[in-house]
A and B are shown apart, each in its own frame.
Chain A
């Protein structure tokens, strides 16, 4: 299994500012994903973080709003830019190591409130 450390665990931010969320894994993993979970909703995939290249974004999400970095196989960041109250949500990092099967693991999430 993979142990994922995600931080911050929560934050309250002013509208118009940006927040960078970090995701650290205790082992090298093939795939890293970023999800958003709005209140009372299920998870929505934002993007796949690709090591060494630009992230692959899902429909409705763009790089200017959610820039993602993945400098190596154990670390990724998601930035929520120019925040508005509609960005208030839980953001989750997920990893999957195809070499170990098809199990997926999630970080504990970052609860973001924009005021």
Chain B
């Protein structure tokens, strides 16, 4: 069964600190893995997207890693800011038999950054 599990479920950190969010998946056949940031009351916004051959990708203070062998990904946030408070969602896409993509969403990590 295709699944995406994220940890921790929630996290509270102080402003300026770093943190790492985890994503484990059992999705086949794997196409790509994305990290989204979702502010409260808003739609998700893409942070990174990685294919099978990519190990790491950065977007400003956000760095995502992917280990396709262990089927794990992480999102590292450096020097956190208050505006980083949001839910972070890991999404893995699989290529279906009909040639269309299917997206499997993790339940997200709710990050709260305190001043």
The tally of CB-CB contacts under 8 A between chains A and B is 41
Residue numbers in A under 8 Å from B100 (CB-CB): 48
Task: Decide: B107 and A102 in contact? CB cutoff 8 A.
Answer: no
Does A103 make an interface contact (CB < 8 A)?
yes
Q: How many residues of A contact B (CB 8 A)?
A: 20
Instruction: Please give, as numbers and ranges, the residues of chain B lying within 8 Å of A107 by CB-CB distance.
Output: 43
Number of interface residues of B (CB under 8 A): 20
CB nearest to A45 among chain B residues: B103
Stretch at the interface among B13-21, B44-52, B59-67, B71-79: B44-52
Find A42's partner among B31, B34, B89 (CB 8 Å cutoff).
B89
Output the least CB separation between B30 and chain A (Å).
13
B42 interface hit (Cβ, 8 Å):
yes
Interface pair B46/A109, CB less than 8 Å apart:
no
Is A108 in the interface zone, CB < 8 Å from B? yes
> Chain A residues near B106 (CB, 8 Å)?
42
- Which chain A residues in 1-15 approach chain B with CB under 8 Å? 4, 6
- Inter-chain CA distance A91–B103, complex, in Å, is 16
- Considering residues B32, B43, B101, B103, which has the most beta carbons from chain A within 10 angstroms of its beta carbon? B43
6 extra A-B contacts, CB within 8 A, seeds A42-B106, A104-B46: A41-B107, A102-B31, A102-B93, A106-B36, A107-B43, A108-B43
Closest 6 CB pairs of A and B: A106-B43, A42-B105, A42-B107, A43-B105, A108-B43, A106-B44
